[in-house]
Structure 1
Amino acid sequence: MKNVLIIDDDRNFCESLKVEFQDLGYSAKFCTSISELEEEQEITKYDWAVVDLRIGIDNGLDVVDILKKENSEMEVIILTGFGSISTAVEAVKRGAKQYLSKPIQFDELLESFGDQQIDNEVESYPSLARKEREYIEFVLNECDGNISQAAKKLGIHRQSLQRKLKKYTPLK
């Protein structure tokens, strides 16, 4: 039986995910903040962790550092609704096993840990719009947020880039 730790600021999501794991016989617990995680006495007992990239005002990449420091064998998967290539690379550098976008099917999450083989007849590919957004975020990151410089590197007008950024702005 695997022990799973879930770190996400969305309590409902944590509770749902915890139930999904428990229904399959896993032991699961969740924390909704880094301070809650730091109070957890037995981080070393967990085999897997599911971590949101944005935990309130905290960064999930910092959580990866905390978890890996306490238990280098723990498999960590980052989930995010705000993914980008640069943060995916950083997550893997810090020790995350996978970097996945929300929403995600529970079976896909289990498959990412390598615990369950799911036969998908049709492979799912990210949409072109998602790839475009990720690439724009990557270039913007490389240009330290300078829209004019990023537009020049992308070969588009600055106003076109601003329209695309407005289109991809996450809604809260």
Structure 2
Amino acid sequence: MTETRLLMIVEDDEAFAHTLKRSFERRGYRVLLADSHDALQALLAEGHQPGFAVVDLKLGGASGLTCVQTLRATDDEMRIVVLTGFASIATAVEAIKLGASYYLAKPSNTDDIEAAFARDDGDPDAPVDGRQTSIKTVEWEHIHQTLVETGFNISESARRLGMHRRTLARKLEKRRLT
């Protein structure tokens, strides 16, 4: 049976994970931490059945999307929020397709995450403005889509994008958000 106030945080940044853990514990959640897909699977194998999960999109060199898929397979009703410093349309779409309830870009706080857990429906009144997309944004989204397609393999992504691996690595460093 799913524990309604049990929260699984899958985050490889230890300091950030512990900060989130303490904040959610003050709100009455029981919190489990995993820093990888393997650690998540081990906790689930122990019989833990969280009602909520926060998953970082990029776990070291791996994708958090596999964690989303694993969590969704465990419980179809679980509220899963993907939290990332590498936000893009491509990964947002993939996260939702794989079962995430919501997708938040860092920096986000406990209030933002808890509000995302509470949201059941989309917002039809969300503004649909004709925002101008810069070339840098289009480039970033193309890079991110390629990263998703290659499972965040930098070398293969660079090859597909027709750029040197170091060039891609520098671009990724510049866009990194904490």
Give your verdict on TM over 0.5. yes
Task: Give the aligned CA root-mean-square deviation in angstroms.
Answer: 3.0
For this pair of structures, how many residues does the alignment match?
A: 143
Correspondence 1:1-172 to 2 at 5 A: 2-40=5-43, 41-43=46-48, 45-114=49-118, 132=134, 133-140=136-143, 141=145, 145-146=160-161, 166=171, 169-171=174-176
Sequence identity, in percent? 31
In 1, Cα distance between the equivalents of 2:173 and 2:38?
31
Deviation string 1:15-70 (CA, Å, 9 cap, x unpaired) is: 11111111011111111111111111224x20000000011122100001111111
Which residue identity does 2:103 align to in structure 1? Answer: Y
Q: Which residue of 1 aligns with 2:127?
A: none
Report deviation, 1:167: 9.3
Conserved? CA contact 1:84–1:134, under 8 Å: no
Q: Which residue of 2 aligns with 1:159?
A: none
In 2, Cα distance between the equivalents of 1:84 and 1:146?
17
SS in 2 for 1:25: coil
In 1, Cα distance between the equivalents of 2:31 and 2:99?
21
In 2, Cα distance between the equivalents of 1:98 and 1:19?
22
Can you give the 5+ residue segments of structure 1 that lack an aligned partner in the other structure?
116-127, 149-161
SS in 2 for 1:95: coil
Report deviation, 1:134: 4.5
**Closer/same/farther in 2, CA of residues 7 and 167 from structure 1, 3 Å limit:** closer
Larger radius of gyration: 1
In 1, Cα distance between the equivalents of 2:61 and 2:142?
24
In 2, Cα distance between the equivalents of 1:57 and 1:167?
13
Conserved? CA contact 1:8–1:31, under 8 Å: yes
Report deviation, 1:171: 4.5
TM-score with structure 1 length normalisation?
0.71
Greater relative contact order structure (CA < 8 Å, 6+ sep): 2
